[in-house]
A and B are shown apart, each in its own frame.
Chain A
Amino acid sequence: MPYVVTENCIRCLYMDCVSVCPVDCFRKGEAMLVIHPDACIDCGVCEPACPAQAIRRDDDRDGTRWLAFNARFAEEWPRICEKGKPPGDADDWRGRSGKSAMVFGADGP
């Protein structure tokens, strides 16, 4: 029952999650992070750490439909082990709706 990264991460990429993950399960794309479901140990430390509340369990709320998305892109995107600098406009994107359609279109969850 891994955790998954969902829409709120898109274009924010605060990356606080990366700092607290004990197994470096995060993978970084240009617009968001995802969690590699096989690497995640369900410790749950990342969920409260995200300032945008983008992370949840795969069986919680919209987690289910993001699981396949996380699994797919975790195979393509590189691993990230250290928190980097969030984009300068991260706070402007925080909490906005429609980000998935805007950025990923048909590739979205």
Chain B
Amino acid sequence: MSNQYVEKVLSVHHWNDTLFSFRTTRNPAFRFEAGQFAMIGLMVEGRPLLRAYSMACAPYDEELEFLSIKVQNGPLTSRLQKIVPGDEVLIGRKATGTLLHDNLVPGRNLYFLSTGTGLAPFMSLIRDPATYERFEKVVLVHGVRLVSELAYEHFIREELPADELIGEMVAAQLIYHPTVTREEYPNRGRVTELFGSDDWFASLGLPVADAAHDRVMLCGSPAMLADMKVMLEGKGFVEGSSSTPATYVVERAFVEK
């Protein structure tokens, strides 16, 4: 048995010249939890060329969705960015990852802190009813350099609150805070600067996050992960795992080594 399903591309959306999303068919046997990733890719010269991609769609979606960067000479993404509807992609059979509700102990408010394509697993988590059932407020922070990198901005602001299944919960509980570092935009500043600022929490109408009550999930650049780890652990947060749930989790699968 091969390790991948062969699925067909259904649609492609290019956000800018470095970012795109695509949707594919889904084998009903492929199951995943919100926040997980799988190995995704293409046949290249007769062999599967795969990289870890978070599922950006809800776990109950009949199709799959992924968010990808375009790397100029990247062996996979230089090819992947050219896909069109009807093309075949490989979807790994095993979903895995660390950004799971079960890896966190219960809490008050949940913070999703992301930069760049690190948004992807949180696109699944904000569409998962369990997210809203387990927490009071859910804060999605998406840090990018340029405004055009704010993938799904319109979707999150306009379409998600109107969703039949989860729209009410989203409207009542989700706080979306995109922030841009290099261009004019209503929200500026790096993710770490915001999380370290009491004023920022006040601007959201929330108490300053603390380890006794709140929980954090991280997915983003090596710099953001390293800085946030120091900040969170300084505030008494502890990294959780499947064997020992705790107060924050990090996805390291996409970090350049």
* B-binding residues in A (CB < 8 A): 1, 16, 20-24, 41-45, 48-51
Q: How far is the CB of B105 from chain A (nearest CB, A)?
A: 15
- Whole-angstrom CA separation of A89 from B96 in the bound complex: 28
Q: How far is the CB of B210 from chain A (nearest CB, A)?
A: 23
- Whole-angstrom CA separation of A44 from B252 in the bound complex: 6
Residue of B nearest to A46 (CB): B96
- Whole-angstrom CA separation of A96 from B199 in the bound complex: 49
The answer to whether A41 and B52 have CB atoms under 8 Å apart is yes
The answer to whether A43 and B257 have CB atoms under 8 Å apart is no
* A-binding residues in B (CB < 8 A): 3, 37-39, 50, 52, 92, 94-98, 239-243, 252-253, 257
- Whole-angstrom CA separation of A1 from B38 in the bound complex: 20
- Whole-angstrom CA separation of A45 from B252 in the bound complex: 8
**Chain A positions within 8 Å of B98 at CB level:** 44-45, 48
Which of A48, A49, A51 has its CB near the most chain B CB atoms (within 10 A)? A48
Q: Is the interface of A mostly helix, strand, loop or mixed?
A: loop
The answer to whether A16 and B94 have CB atoms under 8 Å apart is no
Q: Is the interface of B mostly helix, strand, loop or mixed?
A: loop
The answer to whether A1 and B243 have CB atoms under 8 Å apart is no
The answer to whether A23 and B39 have CB atoms under 8 Å apart is yes
The answer to whether A51 and B243 have CB atoms under 8 Å apart is yes
**Chain B positions within 8 Å of A45 at CB level:** 96-98, 253
The answer to whether B52 and A48 have CB atoms under 8 Å apart is no
The answer to whether A22 and B52 have CB atoms under 8 Å apart is yes
Q: How far is the CB of B115 from chain A (nearest CB, A)?
A: 18
Q: How far is the CB of A32 from chain B (nearest CB, A)?
A: 18
- 10 A/B residue pairs, CB under 8 Å, sorted by A: A1-B257, A20-B96, A22-B37, A22-B39, A22-B95, A22-B96, A43-B253, A44-B98, A48-B241, A49-B242
**Chain B positions within 8 Å of A50 at CB level:** 243
Residue of A nearest to B92 (CB): A22
Q: Out of A41, A43, A44, A49, which one reaches B243, CB within 8 Å?
A: A49
**Chain A positions within 8 Å of B37 at CB level:** 22, 43
- Whole-angstrom CA separation of A68 from B172 in the bound complex: 54
Residue of B nearest to A21 (CB): B96
- Whole-angstrom CA separation of A1 from B37 in the bound complex: 20
The answer to whether B241 and A49 have CB atoms under 8 Å apart is yes
